[in-house]
Structure 1
């Protein structure tokens, strides 16, 4: 027996202003989260992306085909009630940022990490006001408190919708710096490749594992979605 799926019960999904934000109406019915909270987002383009997902549903409603709706639901139901805790969890990545932990061999990997990651640490110093220092090996070594404080302040300044997207930008790459670079609009493909320097090196040595590759592709798609969601939170 196939799993039950709700049937489409509306003709049109439209964007409507509500208070200081924007929502989606399914015909005359305002959209709500699974927990029955009003689904209100900060910008018209983000609301339109959600409306487009609902308008594209045919026959039955497939939640897996609505990533913007899912992320908005998460922002409202999961992030907003504990925004400070989520922000601090993400800020903590600064003290163990992927870009700071370097291999000591082989020479080719050491060089590739330096060529890819050093410019991003320089960018963070210029743009974010935080200098993170690389170290060799995997043992934790604390970063400068001033640098961590500067990064933390920027994370805590994000609203719940931005944080919902930023969570994936950081957790999928393992890097607070790469997360900020994505949020600032840097090229997503380049940033994703930088986050996978170690994995790419291993694939070049030993070949591609099909299952690992499929998992990486799902994460790459999620990263690009999070980057787009964050941009729509800022769009006029």
Structure 2
């Protein structure tokens, strides 16, 4: 997956720091032959990357051990929150909080966090895609469509990920409508087929939009 968040590593391009070796306390680092206190940015990076670790463990445990997954997402949320307390403008951590809230079923709070991330980093594709999935969970189909169209113009890989999530949502709603009108579901499925055909045409014509990867 594309982006700092989905690669699972917070790189120096996002927060101007270098790889560090932590001291025993976790708050000191060695600089040459001397020890020094970690900066807030360095501690935020470590908190963020710890959150990524818990997020990945949660994903791996989702099917086999849902209770463990829930615990891991809670730990990830705690780490991401700590990162934003240390560095309030770390948009990747807000995106991570949105992910953890969404996996915990708090979709409204997830949308709030994605919105904050996008205020700080307009166009951040990971947040747009994740927000699209949160819209689907709330049956906000038109908003999910808008998220897809935005990604289609800027980040085709993320657009494809959201399209797959849309297909999964349609399958789920056919089995459990959850208040979604069958006619609306059919119309949405038709829209998906049209967009899928168009996506295939642009790929075959070599018209895939070019974007700068988040590094």
* Normalised TM-score (structure 2): 0.27
Structure with larger RCO (C-alpha < 8 A, sep 6+): 1
Which is richer in helix? 2
Report the structure number with the largest CA radius of gyration: 1
